[in-house]
Amino acid sequence: MIPATQHYEGVDWDTITINPYKVSLKEMNDTILLALKDSFDCEFHPPAIGDISSNFGFRRWGRRPKFHYGVDVRMEVGDPVYAMFDGVVRVAKRSADYGYVVLIRHYNGLETLYAHFNQLLAYSGQPVRSGDIIGLAGSTGRSTGPHLHFEVRYKGEKIDPNKIVYFPSGSLLSDTLQIDKHCFSHLYQVKSVKLKSKYHIVKRGETLAKISYTYGMSVKHLAKLNRISLKTKLARGRRLRIK
């Protein structure tokens, strides 16, 4: 049985796309109260217990801030990772960014995402109970070391997991979660940072040296800002970030 259909009415059960919903909740008018835990079909188990190495919010990526939409929990390769609530696995695959990743739709209406596994132990369509092992921790995908990247989502929009779980002890903060526009206020911050960014469209014959001179910056800084090497050949029409 597909979980929480009342929250995802009109959207097909998608086992490939992590976010098929394409909705914005930052201006939602309603307030929704989710019962996270009950005695029928929603128990709780922490996905992992450990120190958070990177929290929800802005962090530095090179010289620019980038929003981190989950929490990273320090783990060793092969450590078990657990389903947080009862539900059904919607996505279990390998992706370029997340590496081996599992996304579970829960009966309480939330979806949780677990990334960078060394090994998947779950499959799409699999019913899971809270506390079931769904994978072994690793460092696949875009990762700098073994850890669990964990996200909480509602209709595709991310919610700060720290509003739900106290990770040092692995305890649930409350049996209920109130969802309103304030849960997604971070989206305004992300938009504000994006608006402050400036870009240059490469013209025929332009080089990194010429463009960096035009904007009064070093070639090294321009290359790092765009995550390219100093020897990269620029194609006409390419967009380079200059701020």
Does residue 13 sit within a domain? no
Alpha carbon distance 3, 111 (integer Å):
10
- Residues 57, 110 within the same domain: yes
Alpha carbon distance 161, 153 (integer Å):
9
Does residue 80 sit within a domain? yes
Q: Where are the beta strands (DSSP E) in 30-86?
A: 32-35, 52-54, 57-61, 64-68, 71-74, 80-82
- Residues 230, 110 within the same domain: no
Among 90, 71, 146, 88, CA closest to 116: 146
Residue 163, helix vs strand vs coil: helix
Has residue 133 got a pLDDT over 60? yes
148 bridge partner residues: 73
Has residue 146 got a pLDDT over 70? yes
pLDDT digits (tens, 9 = 90+) for 70-111: 999 999 999 999 999 999 999 999 999 999 999 999 999 999
Does residue 163 sit within a domain? yes
The CATH number of residue 205's host domain is 3.10.350.10
Range of the domain at 130: 32-192
Alpha carbon distance 50, 35 (integer Å):
25
- Residues 166, 214 within the same domain: no
- Residues 141, 156 within the same domain: yes
pLDDT digits (tens, 9 = 90+) for 2-60: 999 999 998 999 999 999 998 888 778 899 999 998 777 678 999 998 899 989 887 66
